[in-house]
Amino acid sequence: MPVAALLLFSAAFLGLLALAVQLALVLRHRPRSGQSHPKPETSPGISILKPLCGVDDDLEANLEQFATLDYPRYEVILGVKDMRDPAYALARMAVARWPHVMKLALQEGEPGLNPKVNQLVTLSAEARYGLWVISDSNVRVAPGYLREIAEGFEDPEVGCVTHPIAGIGERTVGSLMDNLHLASSAAAGVIAAKRLVDKDIVVGKSMAMRREDVEALGGFFSVKDVLAEDFVIGQWITHKLGKRVVIARTPVFNVSLNKRVGDFFKRYVRWSVIHHMSVSTPTYMAQALLNPAPLALLAALLAPSWESFAAAGTVALVKALLDLTVFRALRPEPVSWSAVPVVLLKDALLFVAWCNGLFSRTVQWRGTRLRVLAGTRLAASTAPSTPPLSTSDVAGHEELLAG
């Protein structure tokens, strides 16, 4: 067998071992069945900052859940860029229905190139309480969500509480791929990085911080031209403030219902660029180990035989089963083992997206072509006429974990 094929097979089996370790850490991290969060000693007021952009899947139901959380003192501030946004009408309806919890804030100005951060600048100025939770519009949460956050901040050394992500609600193959990848790669990666090497990866779908800590970092204005603002803020919490990041045990749930396969692919083509610009090139290349099926297939093609293709098929099957096991462990909805072919297609598309990230440095974002610099800093390029993207496409930093 050629040396290149041996190296690729070795890399694939090493990747399977790493994924098995991730699975073990996920199972150890998740809360036990029936476990509830104890009430924190205090219940600090919490301001949930929720930027909206377009009407996400089942947005009305998502907002309804946040209006009825089991916590004594909190508010939800809904943000939209302007009244032309389709989410504006739903936000007004939510405020009218739950005026004791919800309020609406229209974005003031446009300080930077990151549209989510532009909204956060306005939302934080409207916040009544000293504990801020940044929450994407396309998520739902488990019971005790705010209690677990408040409990984390009882330790003054904690500067941020973030959550792993699992996806729910899929009705199409594209949404199943999306939800699968968020759990099996993003959530598993966040948990494994923390538990194995104490590396903090903060995901913006749910991140909580004290007002005073955000202000000590220069406020959200300091990351106005950074694409991966959540990851950068998480690094600053540790390196500049000397505080800890806590990974909550319960996940938040990304609601994805009707995405197309093409939507999934475009999203991760874009995120591959962001991912590469967040880490060194050797690290980016090493993370290909976490997608071992394409590596094994390439090895089999270099040394074609019945045995090599059987080995490649075994790698692909084991990888799919590991993904589905993590997926089933992190979310309340069941998923059939018959989804194995979807995992295989997902991994093939992610490998193509990963290859794109080796070379491309630009992304299309809300009608603007942006160049992504080191550290995911943004620079405007040209502005072709393209439709706007939803907040869910750009808000989080799961791309740091896409293997």
| pLDDT value of residue 366 | 57
- Give 29-40 pLDDT, tens digit per residue: 987 665 555 666
Mean pLDDT on 83-105: 95
Asked if pLDDT for residue 393 goes beyond 50, the answer is no
Over pLDDT 90: what percentage of the chain? 72
The pair of structure tokens assigned to 58 is: 């089942």
Asked if pLDDT for residue 41 goes beyond 80, the answer is no
Q: What residues have CB less than 8 Å from 375, skipping those under 6 apart?
A: 226, 232, 277, 278
Alpha-carbon separation of residue 283 from 225, 278, 346, 382 (angstroms): 24, 10, 22, 30
Ranges assigned E (strand) in 145-264: 158-162, 165-168, 206-210, 244-247, 252-255
Nearest-angstrom CA–CA distance, 151 and 147: 6
Nearest-angstrom CA–CA distance, 118 and 81: 9
- Give 303-357 pLDDT, tens digit per residue: 999 999 999 999 999 999 999 999 999 998 999 999 999 999 999 999 999 999 9
Which of 52-67 are b and which e, b meaning 16 or more Cβ less than 10 Å from the residue's Cβ? bbbbbbbbeebbeebe
- Give 53-67 pLDDT, tens digit per residue: 888 888 999 999 999
The pair of structure tokens assigned to 242 is: 């000397």
